[in-house]
Structure 1
C-alpha cells in the first residue's frame, strides 16, 4: 500500500476553508519504520511542516520507537523538552503532578488519568488529568460539570521557556482511551462561545491561522515583536489563576516574586520572536505561550513603512504585565474561536505527531477517578532557537 495523506475528519463546528492545509491522517506506513528509512522520513518530515499535525491510526509504538521518531526531527536533541527533571526539581511547578517518566526511556512521559499498574517498568503510577478546576480563576459549577460542561485547561506550546529551546515536534500516543459522553467547552468570556468535543480531546489551533486572521495593525505589531518569558515560568505562574478561555493568566498580581523562585540566571531567560518561520513552507506562525510571558519588545517600523494608524511606530518595551497580557490576548483570542479549533477524537492506538513550533494546543475536559487513561508523550528540547521573520517578512507586514 502506497503512503497516503488523507484530510482529518472535521467536526461540524469547523470552518473547512481554514483547515484546507491543516492535519492529515497518514495511511500505509508504520510510525516505527520511519526513522530508519531516509526517503520515508523525508516525506513525513515535509508533510508534518506542511500540515502541522499527522495522525497514524491503530499504531503499535514502543517508547524506544517514539523517542527515535521524535529525535529524527532534531538529531542532536537529547533531553525531554522540560529537562529530564521536568519541573526544575520543585513540587511548586504546575507541571509536577502531570508527568511520570518511563524509566528506560526518560525522554518519554506517561500521562493520563487514574492508576496504571506494571507499565513499562513502572509498578504503579497514579495519573491526574489536568483540569481547569485547579488552574482557572473561576470554574464551571459542579452541577454544570455533571451536565457535561467543561473548559480548555491551558493553551500552550510544549516548552520549558527557560534555559531550554522549544521542541520542534511533539508525539502523543494513546494506549488506553476511555469512552464517555461528549462534553461542551464553555468559553465563559461573555461571547457565548461553546464547542462540543469528545471526552478528553486534545484541542489544536494553527499558529499560521492565528497570524493570518490578524488585522493589519496587529499583524504589524506581531511581526515586529519579541516576548520575554519569566525565569522558571511554571513555578512563577503557579500561584496565579488562568482566564476562563485557558488563554493566559489573570493579572491579579499573584505570580511568585522573582526573588523567591529557584535559583536562576538572566542569561538563561528566553526571549523569542512572536512570529516563527516555518522551515519548510516559509509560512509565519504566531507562537506565544501566553501564560509564561513577562515582557514584550516591539521594534520600530522599518524605514519607509506607512505610519498612519500604526501601533508603536517608534517601537516599545512593555513591562506592565497586564498591558502585555491584554495585547497578546487581543491578538490570540480570535484564533481559538470554535470554528478554528480542531478537537481530536482519540481512539486506542492513535499516534499523533504535531509541529510544536506551528500550533498551540490544550488539554480539555475532566475524567472521573475510575476512568483510566494512558498516553505516552515525547518532545525534546531543541538544538536551536525558533527562527523569526526575515527582513522581507517585516517589510511586507509591518
Structure 2
C-alpha cells in the first residue's frame, strides 16, 4: 500500500498560512515495520514537515526504540542518559519518567497509577504541573473551571555532555477523555488558547526565526548559547514564567559548586539556530530554562552596522539580560495562532523533529484520570549544525 500524506487537523485557532509546511498525517504504512525505502521516505517527510502523525498504530517498546534509532544509527542511550533521571532525585525530571526495564531507551510517562505494564508491576505517574514549577499559579477556582498553562517549552535534551536527540517518538497507549481546557498566558497580553485535555503543544523553530526583525535575525545567526552544567538540577529550585518560556531571574538556581560533579569540557555550547539537514532552513532551537550565557560573534566584514545589536560581538553573562533577550526573540512564536495542540487518541504515534520544534506539556489531570504514553529519544551521535558562512552573510 502506498504512503498517503494529509495535512494535520489544525484547530480553528491556528493561522493556516503558518502551517503550510508544518506537520503531516501519514497513512497506509506501519511505522513499526518499515522497509528501508519506506523509512527513507518517512525520514525526508519528517525533516520537511517537523512532525508526523500515525493513527491507530500497534507499537511495542522494542519497535519504538528501533524506529527512533533508525534516524541516527550510531545513537544508543536515552536522551538524558539511561536510567539517570530516575536516580537523580534533585533533577526536575525525576517525577516525570519511568524506564521500561527491558528497553531502557523508552520511558513511560503520564498520570495516575499503571499496573503490570511492560515489566513494571506498579508505576505511579505524575503529569507535570505548572503549580510545582511556575512562580505564580492559576487559582484553584480557575483550575476547576478548566484554566491551565503550558508547563515548560523545551527541546528534549540533556544539555550537558550528551548531544541533543534528532527525533522524539511519542506513543499514546491510554488517553483519558475530559473537558477541553484553556491555556492562559498570564503575561499581560490577554492571550488564551483553548486546547484538548492533556495536549502536547508544538511550535516551529523555523517560524520562530522567520518572525524575527532583521536586527534580531542578525543577532541570532551570530550567537551561541552556553547551557548550565546538569541544567535540570541547576534549575530545579528556580521558578518559571507564566508562559512556561524560561525562568524568572530571582537567583534561586542551585550554585554551581553544589551541583553533582561536572567538567567544563562537557558543557554544551550550541548555536541558537540549527540547520535542517534536508531543507537547509534555520530553526531557532533554544531551551530557555537551561541557558546560562550567550556568546555573540562580531558582524562579518562589510555587514551593515547601523542598528545592529552587539556589532563587535559580546559575551553576555548577566543571566537576567540573557533571559530577557531570549524571551524577546522566542515569545512571538508561541502566540496562540502559531501553536499546534495535538488532540491525542489512543494508539496515536507522533514523530517530531527535536532539532526543529519546541514543545510543551500542557494541562492538569485528576488522580483518577490515568494517562500512559511511551516516549523515546536518543542522545545523538553529533551536535546540531549551525548557520553556514553564507547564512551569516545573508542575515548578519
TM-score w.r.t. the length of structure 1 is 0.99
Native 8 Å contact 2:114 2:122 kept in 1: yes
Native 8 Å contact 2:297 2:312 kept in 1: yes
Provide the residue aligned with 2:159 in structure 1. 161
Return the offset for 1:29.
Answer: 0.2
Q: Equivalents in 2 of 1:291, 1:2: separation in Å?
A: 42
Provide the residue aligned with 2:390 in structure 1. 392
Q: Equivalents in 2 of 1:11, 1:88: separation in Å?
A: 36
Provide the residue aligned with 1:14 in structure 2. 14
Native 8 Å contact 1:80 1:86 kept in 2: no
Deviations 1:23-62 (A, max 9, x none): 000000011112xx11101100000000000000000000
Return the offset for 1:90.
Answer: 2.0
Deviations 1:75-116 (A, max 9, x none): 010000000133284211000000000000000000000000
**Aligned with residue 358 of structure 1, among 334, 356, 359:** 356
* SS, match of residue 226 in structure 1: strand
Q: Equivalents in 2 of 1:86, 1:241: separation in Å?
A: 23
Provide the residue aligned with 1:315 in structure 2. 313
Q: Equivalents in 1 of 2:262, 2:222: separation in Å?
A: 28
Native 8 Å contact 2:151 2:244 kept in 1: yes
Return the offset for 1:2.
Answer: 1.6
* SS, match of residue 84 in structure 2: coil
| Residue 278 (structure 1) aligned with residue 276 (structure 2) | yes
Native 8 Å contact 2:85 2:97 kept in 1: no
TM-score w.r.t. the length of structure 2 is 0.99
Q: Runs of 4+ in structure 1 displaced over 3 angstroms?
A: none
Provide the residue aligned with 1:95 in structure 2. 93
Write the mapping of 1:1-398 to structure 2, written as runs, cut at 5 A: 1-34=1-34, 37-87=35-85, 89-398=87-396
Taking structure 1 as reference, are residues 209 and 392 closer, same or farther at Cα in structure 2, changes over 3 Å only?
Answer: same
Unaligned runs of 5+ in 2: none
Native 8 Å contact 1:205 1:360 kept in 2: yes
Q: Equivalents in 1 of 2:144, 2:99: separation in Å?
A: 32
Instruction: Say what the alpha-carbon RMSD is for the aligned residues.
Output: 0.6
Native 8 Å contact 2:55 2:347 kept in 1: yes
* SS, match of residue 341 in structure 2: strand
Native 8 Å contact 1:204 1:342 kept in 2: yes
